[in-house]
Amino acid sequence: MMMRKGKLFMLPYAGGSASVYLSWKKHLPAEVELIPMELPGRGKRYKEPLIDSVQNMIPVLLEDITSHELSTSYAIFGHSMGNLLALELARELAKQDHPLPAALFLSGRNPPHVKSNFLRHVLSEQELVQEILKLGGTPPELMENREWLELFLPIIRSDYKLVETYQFKWDAPLDCPFMIFNGKQDLLIDAGQIEEWSRFTSREYSAAWFEGDHFYIHDQAEEICRQMVRHLGAPTSPLH
């Protein structure tokens, strides 16, 4: 499906707020409306309780996305945890006979049936801080700020629990194209497994690799947007 004009919904990574995507608007043509999807417990939804399971998160996201007009073209981008949520949200949209996205852009995560046995959500506070620092993406000076840590650690622990307790179930392939994005130096990705993503779509499948680690998206936002625009067939100008 060509998306000459439409919406691009953005789902964040573990511990992140949808606001990280606001700066991406300048890389997109005016015809593509960028819509960050905020999760409960952060950003403008900080007063809402955190949700630590996919089963309970998807109905919230479904209510959010279906509050928008989906009869016109739209696409979904998700990085890391957001990748998982994007996939399961699209599956739920299909089950409820909503229009499917023109494309799913899935970033920074192995295929959903590839299970990791490392459980970060059960780590002690000190171990969790060290793990976050090792993964990168969070300024080390923030991790030394006690007040900030008390706000951040419950969010990321809840998000890790959501991802690590996820029970994958095989279902029919989705009738929408998949484009898989990853960082070449991402140690959380098994490059040999990435082609397995093609099993989850009955439409076109492609993969793109970018310079960078798990948080390559911060340095490669412009090129990621360029790839998405090209894939969707949207015009490349004028930009915001």
**Tell me: the pLDDT tens digits for 92-151?**
999 999 999 999 999 999 999 998 777 889 788 889 888 888 887 788 888 788 898 989
Structural fold of domain 6-111+172-232:
Rossmann fold (3.40.50)
| Cα–Cα distances in angstroms (integers) from residue 213 to residues 39, 134, 183, 191, 199, in the given order | 24, 11, 5, 13, 25
Length of the chain: 240
Structure tokens at 151: 């706000």
Distance CA 214, CA 188 (A): 7
Distant-in-sequence, close-in-space partners of 90: CB < 8 Å, separation ≥ 6: 76, 100, 101, 104, 174, 176
177 close to 205: Cβ distance less than 8 angstroms: yes
Give me the residues paired with residue 34 across strands: 8
Catalytic residues: 80
Where in the chain does DSSP place strands (E)? 6-11, 32-36, 74-79, 103-107, 178-183, 205-210
DSSP, collapsed to helix, strand or coil, labels residue 141 as coil
Write the burial class of residue 43 (CB in 10 Å: 0-12 exposed, 13-18 middle, 19+ buried): middle
The confidence band for 4, taking pLDDT boundaries of 50, 70 and 90, is: low
Tell me what the pLDDT averaged over the chain comes to. 91
**pLDDT for position 148:** 85
Closest C-alpha to 180, from 202, 210, 160:
210
Give me the residues paired with residue 205 across strands: 178
pLDDT at 78 exceeding the cut of 50? yes
175 close to 94: Cβ distance less than 8 angstroms: yes
Distance CA 145, CA 142 (A): 5
Judged by average pLDDT, the poorest of 2-6, 84-88, 107-111, 216-220 is 2-6
**pLDDT for position 234:** 52
DSSP label at 67?
T
The confidence band for 48, taking pLDDT boundaries of 50, 70 and 90, is: very high
DSSP, collapsed to helix, strand or coil, labels residue 232 as helix
pLDDT at 5 exceeding the cut of 90? no
pLDDT at 235 exceeding the cut of 60? no
Distance CA 23, CA 228 (A): 16
pLDDT at 206 exceeding the cut of 70? yes
**pLDDT for position 216:** 96
